[in-house]
Structure 1
Amino acid sequence: MPTLPSDHPSERDPHEFRRAAESFGSDAGRYDRARPRYPDAVVERITAAGAGVGAPEILDVLDVLDVGCGTGIAARQFRAAGCTVLGVEPDPRMAGLARQSGLDVDVATFEAWEPAGRRFDAVVAGQAWHWVDPVAGAAKAAQVLRPGGRLAAFWNVPRVPPEVAEAMAAAYQRVAPGSPFDVRAMAKSPLDGYQALSAKAADGIRKAGGFGEPEQWRFDWEHAYTREAWLDQIPTQGAFTRLPPDELAQVLESTGAAIDAMGGGFTMPYVTVTVTAPLRREP
């Protein structure tokens, strides 16, 4: 999950924090192992759109472009649903791990990526669109989508139990005072921060032009975490990827103690928020 900069939304937006985006590959294997997958309903709804709203038929195979594909978590889910998938990923370490599972990945930022004439039925971004300039990214998506194709950016929004979130935030503030990342938001209303990301994405789609009016889809689900599984995920989150080992250990120790006090595990409610719009068909 992205931990939002404390001044968001203002002069500095998440796509300006490229160093954080590029830090996830420092432990690509952990990222792939620990990060949650996306609800099947998200993949099903995007693929069911076929070639877009009002398409005369559903395509047998969708060509999907996965922006910021990382280690291929979402890409593998779309491939399992029968799609052909190309990933675009700026971190060669993450791209390398994605390729190990048989995915095709181009190493580039999406804004600088060269499509070389390739076209797609869907451009998707799981947990990544906030690292892309929202207007330039939507304009690039419009260039590579077939008429009626769909842009869909989605985020998993966890509602971390207050005891766990507060322990994480307090430890982080001790070891990284003055950080631009607002870990405290996890203990408050995380959905509010993602609504800001969603609004920014929708506004970028409108400004880029060529799309229908953006929609927001919402999917509610749950995931059970053991103490070990949640502590394994913490170092993959943007605020923590660049902490020195001794400081990270303090965050993990404090968080682990909070989970122990809850009985050694918890069930996390998630909301997957999706911002999506079809490319308008030519008259």
Structure 2
Amino acid sequence: MTHRDEDGPGRPDRARRAVFGEAAEEYDAARPGYPAQLFADILEFARHGAEGRVEALEVGAGTGKATLAFAALGVSVTAIEPDPRMAAVLARHRADRPGITVRPGEFETWDPAGRRFDLLFSAQAWHWTDPEVRWSRARSVLRPGGALALFWNDWYITDEPLRRELAAVHDRFLPERPPHSILDERPRESVRGEHAWVTAELRADPAFTDLGHRVYSTTHERSTTGIAALLTSLSFYRAQPEDTRRRLLAEVARTVDAHGGRVDLMTTTALFLARTWN
């Protein structure tokens, strides 16, 4: 299966992943962050057996939404980001933040020079890694008993009539709906639910133990401009022909304006935890 944006576990589409860097600043402004409690919970999990400051490796740092949050809690973060345009935004953000080192490159080929970490985390990015090597690479860079934390956001439109209208708009302009998107009905089983591919792959690897799954729910409001920016930050939309994307987003904006110019979104953040054997 070809890997699709924030979808299943297949081999990642490198060209599709690269579209984020085309609009790194817009991505940074549009994408929401993650709940504060999630970072506290991960840090508590990672401190098991760790002495002093937690040393973390981040895979697919993007523009630093999670990077900065961990650094604010005193975590030392080495952040790997394959797209130099995204890495440049992160480097600017961390200019006045101690404890963050940005390493452009691919996680699969990055050389840690023998360094082992207390924590490996990946926010909204682990599905882009190569399934043939990602787990063995994770094991190799974690100390014995080191923690693995993988998390993603899902967004849902809470206004059902608006959701249906926006779905109809997409149907008029696109041959297929975007996978795993804000257009999906609620409730639905997320691809990152408790029994999702992440858990299945971790259970199949005897090097990991203490598997855990937690879900956090938050809500926020988006303006017409804000919802268009969020959609544009997703690779499915960035991969569309420019004219199609422009006309689709114009119709999305018209529809949202007709509903008062705002969209209420419920965000569910799924967290997967694991630990290497001591």
SS in 1 for 2:191: helix
Contact in 2 for aligned 1:135/1:204 (Cα 8 Å) = no
Q: What does residue range 263-278 of structure 1 map to in structure 2 within 5 Å?
A: 263-278=260-275
**One-letter code of the match for 1:28?**
A
Q: Assess if the C-alpha contact under 8 Å between 1:169 and 1:184 holds in 2.
A: no
Q: How has the CA–CA distance of structure 1 residues 101 and 208 changed in structure 2, closer, same or farther, with 3 Å as cutoff?
A: same
* Alignment correspondent of 1:177: 175
Supply the distance in 1 between the matched residues of 2:35 and 2:132 (Cα, whole angstroms): 27
Aligned-pair CA distance for 1:91: 1.1
How far residue 90 of structure 1 moved from its aligned partner, in angstroms, is 1.4
Contact 2:193 2:270 in 1 (8 A): no
Q: Does 2:138 match 1:146?
A: no
Distance of aligned partners of 1:249 and 1:14 in 2 relative to their CA distance in 1, 3 Å threshold: farther
Give the TM-score normalised by the residue count of structure 2: 0.86
- Partners in 2 of 1:198 and 1:101 — Cα distance? 36
Is the 1:51–1:148 Cα contact (8 Å) retained in structure 2? no
1:108-119 maps to which residues of 2 (within 5 A)?
108-119=105-116
Q: Which residue of the partner structure matches residue 86 of structure 1?
A: 78
Q: What amino acid sits opposite 2:211 in the alignment?
A: P
AA aligned to 1:19 is A
Residue aligned with 1:101, SS:
helix
Q: How does 1:84-163 map to 2 (within 5 A)?
A: 84-102=76-94, 103-134=100-131, 136-161=133-158, 162-163=160-161
Match of 1:192 in 2: 189
Structure 1 residues without counterparts, runs of 5 or longer: none
Name the counterpart of 1:217.
214
Amino acid in structure 2 at the alignment position of 1:32: D
Counterpart of 1:34 in structure 2 is 30
Task: Give yes or no for the alignment of 1:74 onto 2:48.
Answer: no
| Letter of the structure 1 residue corresponding to residue 77 of structure 2 | V
1:190 & 1:137 partners in 2: Cα distance?
31
Select 2:14's aligned residue among 18, 26, 37. 18
1:96–1:110: structure 2 CA closer, same or farther, 3 Å change rule? Answer: same
Q: Which residue of 1 aligns with 2:47?
A: 51
> C-alpha separation between the residues in 2 aligned to 1:93 and 1:134?
25
Structural RMSD (CA): 2.5
Matched position secondary structure for 1:104: strand
In 2, Cα distance between equivalents of 1:190 and 1:241: 27
Unaligned runs of 5+ in 2: 95-99
Q: Structure 1 residues 26, 39: closer, same or farther in 2, change over 3 A?
A: same
Q: Is the 8 A contact 1:115 1:144 kept in 2?
A: yes
TM-superposed deviation, 1:251: 1.8
Corresponding residue for residue 97 of structure 2 = none
Residues 248 and 198 from structure 1, CA distance in 2 versus in 1: closer, same or farther, beyond 3 angstroms?
farther
Question: Does 230-239 or 101-110 show the bigger shift?
Answer: 101-110
TM-score, normalised to structure 1, is: 0.85
